Structure 1
Amino acid sequence: MDNERRASGEPTFDDVVRIPSTADATWGDPESVVGTALIEDVARLAGVAPITVSRAIRQPGKVSAEKRERIRLAISQTGYKTNPHASALRSGRTNIVLAFVSNLFSQQFALAVRGCAQVLEKAGYQFLVGQTSYSYSKETAIIQSLQALKPAAVMFTGVIELERNRESLRSLDIPIMETWAYPRDPIDLLVGFSNTDAGRMAANHLADRGYRRVAYIGRRGGRGALRLKGFREVCAERGLDFKCEIVCDEVESVSDGRRSLARLFDQTNDIDAVFCANDLLAIGALMEARRRKLTVPSDLAIIGFGENDMAGELSPGLTTIAIDSFALGQFAGEMLMQRLSGEPVDHPARHVELTLIERGSA
């Protein structure tokens, strides 16, 4: 199926991990998921559907007094944000749109949020930003707090993997925007791109330039795993020798890339190219290569992902797989604005094109 999509020019769907509600929610996360009650727990105790709890909190006039009282008692008994929700039963929805980015240090996420805010703020919405830090526990705590915050809409620079969190977001009955991946089954609205194709594009570029012994630096989960999947697929298809994978789950600066390339050379010197699944990592790797007196790209080719401002300023410039992050944010804002205005969204999933920007590093 994916081969047919690629042959027709369509993007490859990302096989995003879906973690069932019954599974250990700490999977892949260094922190345990917050153990407070969910809206489903309140609904079960009150004997109503989760959407009824949501309506009682945001639009109490649409729920009978008898059901509102049962819900209020259930909130109190479960400890489900008791005080905020008790007051929320008497109030309506705000004009706040919340955006949660995976990493506040990311220039690409900042551009996307700016593009989205530009659209929504013109219509009088307030746009607030928080951070999930690639953490299931933080993501869960944030999603549980949304009932109290009562936003008009929510945007994520990523897609939600935990099924309980997906269910909770659906029950809010507000527009939910996911981005930065291209799954088959978004919660609601989606503006994304295929991370799998990004990895494939990187490997094809290296193969076309004659590199044969390659490595990868990036996250082991989420979008990093999808980029690695596509990269390894093309390595196998085109006979590239995949030598090593260096995991870097937290990326805050170019120093993470410098350390990661140093770790890579601690494991093997027998490589001629490396794909970094984040431009900060790639820039750091380029700096470390220069520190080691390596000539880029003849001794070592480096290709990144994301298109950071520094990518074209370094010598040699960084070859990277790029997306127009600002345009992605604008598309997201326009789709959210349609939904908030009560207009139908004919195509709730939109794909953003990937572009290879070739410079001197690969």
Structure 2
Amino acid sequence: MSATYDDVLRVSGHAAAPRPAAKALRIEEVAQIAGVSPITVSRALRQPEKLSENTRRKVLAAVAQTGYESNPHARALRSGRSTLVAAFVSNILSQQFGLAIQGLAEEIEADGYELMIGQTSYSYAKEVAMIRSLRSLRPAAVMFTGVIELEENRQALRELGIPIVETWAFPRDPIDMLVGFSNVDAGAMAARHLATRGYRRLAFIGRSGGRGALRLQGFRAEAERNGQTLARVETVEDVRNIADGRAALTRLLAGGNKVDAAFCANDLLATGALIEARARGLAIPSDLAILGFGDNDTAGEIAPGLTTISMDAHELGRRAGALLRDRLGGREPRQPLQNLALHLIVRGST
């Protein structure tokens, strides 16, 4: 069965275009000020014991005057052969994102590349700042645990002229390469499972935008097909930890309009919701069924066990790394757009 495309939001005009990076000071300019050769400047910074005291003083004075900073990757950057691969995660605390980065690292490090990790925190502003840094750093390739929504940022990334892999969604129009899955299908899978268990009045807990909105789209549409009622939608702007799930369930319960089951769009929210429900004396799943997405380590350990929708995050990262290895090795990947299967793991919470 083919995956449903995610109609990922595309946004224009909501972020300042990245400014051109400031021109980096060249070692030759420092050498000219100090009245020495460029190799002497390099030795003064890396092997000062090989130079006379007078020469070292002249070079260090020029460095202080210009603010020159030695870049350990400068030779690679000048030659166009950077060994850095940048990976940006939406939330550095997510176990699934960590597994994906591990899979990525296992692939690229085999070819001598070094991994650098940053966090976007689901923020357009951070994406803009990130792209500015990439223009200066000039990594060999970039991978995201997500897809870029801002058109300005998408274009700026294309202009870098390096391999780029987006993940965690299945849009029709990735920037370059993609290893993802359908978030719409994930939401539909959640509603179908709850229907088979007899739950009719449903709630959704998740982010208001991005992947959360796509999972809600699939959940809502499938619930309507099944004759279920989506009685409550509790949105969160950011997902940082389990406490966010506890707070979301507290708001859900305080709002009345009783529901039979709640689909939480990630397992941090679902785990927090399950803990909060138990703290309030609710019987799971007879009083409230809870279903999550992601399958973190806690899901199978916390009683009565969290039912969740899962995909192989480590495999996702490994495939992303393999795509980058192909491109960096001068080979065109046979499958630059890849879809991962989703799996339902049933435990006691539903």
Any conservation in 2 of the 1:214–1:240 contact (CA below 8 Å)? yes
Of the three residues 3, 11, 14, the one matched with 2:3 is 11
CA distance in 2, matches of 1:259, 1:169: 37
Q: Match for residue 141 of structure 1?
A: 129
Alpha-carbon deviations, 1:103-142, whole Å to 9, x = none? 0010000000000001101110001100000000001110
Specify the SS of the correspondent of 2:147: coil
Q: CA deviation at 1:302?
A: 0.2
Q: Match for residue 78 of structure 1?
A: none
Q: CA deviation at 1:268?
A: 1.8
Of the three residues 334, 338, 341, the one matched with 1:346 is 334
Q: Match for residue 202 of structure 1?
A: 190
Corresponding position: 1:115 with 2:72: no
CA distance in 1, matches of 2:257, 2:154: 44
> Cα distance 1:115–1:338, how it changes in 2: closer, same or farther (>3 A)?
same
Corresponding position: 1:37 with 2:24: no
Corresponding position: 1:101 with 2:89: yes
Q: Match for residue 317 of structure 1?
A: 305
Corresponding position: 1:277 with 2:269: no
Any conservation in 2 of the 1:38–1:168 contact (CA below 8 Å)? no
Q: Match for residue 42 of structure 2?
A: none
Corresponding position: 1:244 with 2:232: yes
Q: Match for residue 56 of structure 2?
A: none
Q: Match for residue 71 of structure 1?
A: none
Q: CA deviation at 1:316?
A: 0.5
Q: Match for residue 166 of structure 2?
A: 178
Q: Match for residue 251 of structure 2?
A: 263
CA distance in 1, matches of 2:313, 2:237: 22
Aligned residue-pair number = 303
Aligned amino acid, residue 298 of structure 1: S
Aligned amino acid, residue 162 of structure 1: L
Q: Match for residue 14 of structure 2?
A: 24
CA distance in 1, matches of 2:239, 2:332: 38
CA distance in 2, matches of 1:140, 1:265: 38
Question: Which range moved further: 240-249 or 195-204?
Answer: 240-249
Q: Match for residue 166 of structure 1?
A: 154
Q: CA deviation at 1:342?
A: 0.4
CA distance in 2, matches of 1:343, 1:253: 40
Question: Which range moved further: 138-147 or 297-306?
Answer: 138-147
Q: CA deviation at 1:92?
A: 3.1
CA distance in 2, matches of 1:268, 1:198: 27
CA distance in 1, matches of 2:317, 2:78: 34
Alpha-carbon deviations, 1:174-213, whole Å to 9, x = none? 1001000000001111000000000000000001110001
> Cα distance 1:233–1:38, how it changes in 2: closer, same or farther (>3 A)?
farther
Alpha-carbon deviations, 1:280-332, whole Å to 9, x = none? 11011011111111110111000000011000001100000001000100011
Alpha-carbon deviations, 1:2-61, whole Å to 9, x = none? xxxxxxx100000001112xx333xxxxxxx5x65258xx9xxxxxxxxxxxxxxxxxxx
TM-score by length of structure 1 reads 0.80
Corresponding position: 1:191 with 2:173: no
CA distance in 2, matches of 1:250, 1:232: 21
CA distance in 2, matches of 1:95, 1:24: 33
Give unmatched runs, 5+ long, in structure 2: 23-68
Any conservation in 1 of the 2:20–2:135 contact (CA below 8 Å)? no
Of the three residues 284, 293, 304, the one matched with 1:296 is 284
Alpha-carbon deviations, 1:72-131, whole Å to 9, x = none? xxxxxxxxxxx99xx899553410000000000100000000000011011100011000
Aligned amino acid, residue 253 of structure 2: F
Corresponding position: 1:254 with 2:242: yes
> Cα distance 1:211–1:253, how it changes in 2: closer, same or farther (>3 A)?
same
Aligned amino acid, residue 24 of structure 1: H
Any conservation in 1 of the 2:231–2:257 contact (CA below 8 Å)? no
> Cα distance 1:337–1:255, how it changes in 2: closer, same or farther (>3 A)?
same
TM-score by length of structure 2 reads 0.83
Specify the SS of the correspondent of 1:329: helix
Of the three residues 129, 135, 138, the one matched with 1:150 is 138
Of the three residues 223, 240, 261, the one matched with 1:235 is 223
CA distance in 2, matches of 1:150, 1:257: 38
Give unmatched runs, 5+ long, in structure 1: 1-8, 26-32, 43-82
> Cα distance 1:140–1:153, how it changes in 2: closer, same or farther (>3 A)?
same
Any conservation in 2 of the 1:93–1:150 contact (CA below 8 Å)? no
Q: CA deviation at 1:145?
A: 1.5
Aligned amino acid, residue 14 of structure 2: D
